A and B are shown apart, each in its own frame.
Chain A
């Protein structure tokens, strides 16, 4: 598959629109998935996913063909999502680290076990409940969790996509997993 993608990219660099169409149709679901999990709203997700592909197209010459295209593309998509989240960010944000603590943010100051009332959980479809809980994570944990369960990405690749050292990726996954454990254990 990688080879077919490489071949298409060579043609895109030569200005071949049809080759880019192949790329979009191959990656559209994955890119949409990442963005939707990050921003939560389907309209916004479609908008950002489209922007990600357009950016990839206009910057295709800066893509190094020796690297993995998916990594590069997902990086564009996650960066755009994070930018969008920042723009919507309220002045006071729970994601801000608490002064004098290492890696602790305001979320950890909240009571962790604010489980939804039983019937509410039941009435909500399981998938949308999980989606909502992923969205409730601070973006820095959300991004690693979303990428980890998509497309068999290795932790090293996740680090490359998010421009983070491997150690940080692992810490965030552990932390994200713990946060979700508290939210999902009542399911």
Chain B
């Protein structure tokens, strides 16, 4: 072993990384080489001085109290964020409902023109939807932003949103033509009813 190798080995040994065999080789070399021996003694002394100096220094008195007093006052927003993080399911549900309601409400507001769920055989005049006498509508019928006049038959549920069911044009009589509807009939005028209708739609899937 030359002195350079011996030096590298000293550090390995002091790190606790040297094998038993390497340690033995090092000891042999140190016996025969005064320079390395001296060097090793100095390193060893340095190590012991450092570990002597590593006795834990004490933080100044009142340190903990000082830290606690200087913690940032929790902002309201941080508090909310923490709550959201702690309750991810409720947060997700709240976000979901928020989006759902806003989209439903915007759908309510934006769509001013008459629309009808199916057009086959139906006559649409301005904002009046007519089921002609010789026509039977199969399935559910939804009319939005318009009145509905059933002269023929509807084989299913009827829903009218923001409109009325009309017997005779001009004479508005609610529920009058219910005979011609085989399914349920409902009329929705208020935004609450509209929202409720959407929620039911979603959950009856």
Contacts and interface: CB of A to CB of B under 8 A. Distances in A.
Nearest to A130: B53
A46 B60 contact: yes
Contacts of B74: 15
A185 interface: yes
Interface residues of A, number: 43
Interface in B88-145: none
B70 to A, nearest CB: 6
A168 interface: no
Interface in A83-138: 126-127, 130-131, 134
Contact of A181 (B15, B43, B85): B43
B2 interface: no
B11 A177 contact: yes
B53 A127 contact: yes
Interface residues of B, number: 34
A54 B46 contact: no
B70 A50 contact: yes
B204 interface: no
Interface in B35-84: 39, 42-43, 45-47, 49-54, 56-60, 63-64, 66-68, 70-72, 74, 79, 82
Interface in A55-98: 57-58, 61
Contacts of A30: 56
Given A53-B67, A54-B67, A184 B45 contact: yes
Contacts of A173: 11, 15
Given A15-B82, A17-B68, A46-B63, A149 B51 contact: yes
B35 to A, nearest CB: 13
A140 B54 CA distance: 18
A28 B71 contact: no
Nearest to A175: B11
A156 to B, nearest CB: 12
B1 interface: no
A180 B44 CA distance: 11
25 contacts: A15-B74, A15-B79, A17-B71, A20-B68, A21-B68, A24-B63, A32-B58, A32-B59, A33-B56, A42-B60, A49-B63, A54-B71, A61-B82, A61-B85, A149-B53, A149-B54, A150-B56, A170-B11, A170-B15, A173-B11, A174-B11, A177-B14, A181-B42, A181-B43, A185-B45
